[in-house]
Amino acid sequence: MPAKFNGLDKSTLAKWMDKIPSDLYVTCPYCKQSVYHQKLGPFQECPHCGYGFRLGAAARLKIVTDKFEAFDAELAVDPALVDDQYAEKLTKAKQHSGLPESVVTGMATIDSLQVAIGVMDSNFMMGSLGSATGEKLTRLFEEATRRRLPVVLYTASGGARMQEGLHSLMQMAKVTQAVTAHGEAGLCYLVVLTDPTTGGVTASFAMEADITLAEPHALIGFTGRRVIESTLHIKPPADFQRAETLLANGFVDDIVARSAQKATIVSLLKLSQGGA
């Protein structure tokens, strides 16, 4: 202990310590290095390894878009599908995320480009795919098809929402056919896979884009590590579901740091839809 603290009684020291916010330093979940919070910068990137810390939808939209107008902002799950236990989860998720569902959708301007955009938020029940999530995404693709706009989608999800059973599973088919119709109209769908993108979201619209980008070190996969471990009694390699592994295996077009995403998205969309 430094000399200047000598002679302090423990309770005074504890009072001083209490005044120091606990989140001044954060540990990068990927490289495990400790980072002074201001060093993460406006893009919330680890200065050591480039990992993008998890972002809420509002923060994400602020970074990526110049103007945003929400669709279906109040759309939420049909109460007929909600029992007491699920209702409690939903209430907590709303408080935690400030959102009524796990995805925010709407129209945005990125630089001067008009796009339809969706951003999933892992703060809402780990971004799970509920029927309202699927409905909002479906309407997003339908509206983009009507307005002849590209779709930009940021995925973040633990997968299907177990509480909704098959209603959740059916969203995979429902969103998929809206993606297909959008594509058949000659319109571009660009996805950015963020940490984490897993389960039923990976097994549907996350893997159906024309252009598939990922954030550095993002966890992307179908079956969760723990399920593989408990089913097969093996320990998968540390990085078997990281963005870099998917890139090497041919499932991702490119890995793009958050700070470079806006320019990359605009450029790729202009190259794809002959844009303005």
Partner 1 sequence: MSENAAYDIVQAARSQSKIDSYTLINGVFSDFHELHGDRLHGDDSALIGGVGRLNGRPVTILATNKGRDMAEGQATHFGCVSPDGYRKAIRLMKQSTKFNRPIVALINTPGAYPGVEAEYGGQGEAIARSIQTGLGQPVPYLSLIFGEAGSGGALALATGDEVWILEKSTYSVVSPEGYASILWRDGKLADQAAAKMKLTPSELLAAGFVDRVLPEVTTPETLSALTTQLDLKITALAKLPVAELMAARRQRYRQF
Residues that bind partner 1 (CB under 8 A): 85, 131, 134, 138, 160, 162-174, 176-177, 179-180, 199-200, 202-208, 220-223, 227-228, 231-232, 234, 236-237, 240-241, 245-246, 249-251
CB-nearer residue toward partner 1: 43 or 222: 222
Task: Give strand pairing partners of 210.
Answer: none
Shortest separation between residue 185's beta carbon and partner 1, angstroms:
14
Shortest separation between residue 208's beta carbon and partner 1, angstroms:
5
Shortest separation between residue 76's beta carbon and partner 1, angstroms:
16
Q: CA dist 162 to 67, 82, 175, 248, 275, Å?
A: 34, 12, 18, 32, 40
Q: Are 274 and 267 in contact (CB under 8 A)?
A: no
The annotation status of 49 as a binding-site residue, yes or no, is yes
Q: Nearest 5°: phi and psi at 56?
A: -75, 165
Shortest separation between residue 156's beta carbon and partner 1, angstroms:
15
Shortest separation between residue 223's beta carbon and partner 1, angstroms:
4
The annotation status of 188 as a binding-site residue, yes or no, is no
CB-nearer residue toward partner 1: 33 or 177: 177
DSSP codes joined into one string, 53-67:
----HHHHHHHH-SE
Amino acid (1-letter code) at residue 129? L
State the Cα–Cα distance between residues 225 and 248, nearest whole angstrom: 19
CB-nearer residue toward partner 1: 24 or 234: 234
Shortest separation between residue 73's beta carbon and partner 1, angstroms:
22
Q: Among candidates 192, 226, 194, which has minimal Cα distance to 210? A: 192
Omega before 196 cis (within 30°)?
yes
CB-nearer residue toward partner 1: 65 or 145: 145
Q: Among candidates 87, 62, 79, 151, which has minimal Cα distance to 114? A: 151
CB-nearer residue toward partner 1: 65 or 131: 131
Amino acid (1-letter code) at residue 111? D
State the Cα–Cα distance between residues 42 and 39, nearest whole angstrom: 9
Q: Are 87 and 65 in contact (CB under 8 A)?
A: no
Q: CA dist 128 to 77, 101, 122, 134, 249, Å?
A: 12, 9, 8, 10, 26
CB-nearer residue toward partner 1: 26 or 169: 169
Q: Annotated binding site, which residues?
A: 28, 31, 46, 49
Q: Annotated binding site for Zn(2+), which residues?
A: 28, 31, 46, 49
